[in-house]
Amino acid sequence: MSKDKIEDEKVLPVEQRKACPSHPGEILKELYIDAYKDLTVNKVAKKATLSRAQVLGIINKTISVGGYYADCLSDALKTTPKLWLNLQANYDKWMEVNG
CATH number at residue 58: 1.10.260.40
Is 14 a member of any domain? no
pTM of the predicted protein model: 0.85
Is 60 a member of any domain? yes
Is 15 a member of any domain? no
Q: 3-state class of 71 per DSSP? A: helix
Range of the domain at 36: 22-98
pLDDT digits (tens, 9 = 90+) for 36-61: 989 999 999 999 999 999 999 999 99
- For the chain, what percent of residues have pLDDT higher than 90? 79
Count of structural domains, the chain? 1
Is 88 a member of any domain? yes
Burial of 89: CB neighbours in 10 Å, binned 0-12, 13-18, 19+: middle
Is 8 a member of any domain? no
Is 10 a member of any domain? no
Is 4 a member of any domain? no
CA atoms within 13 A of residue 40's CA, in its CB half-sphere = 6
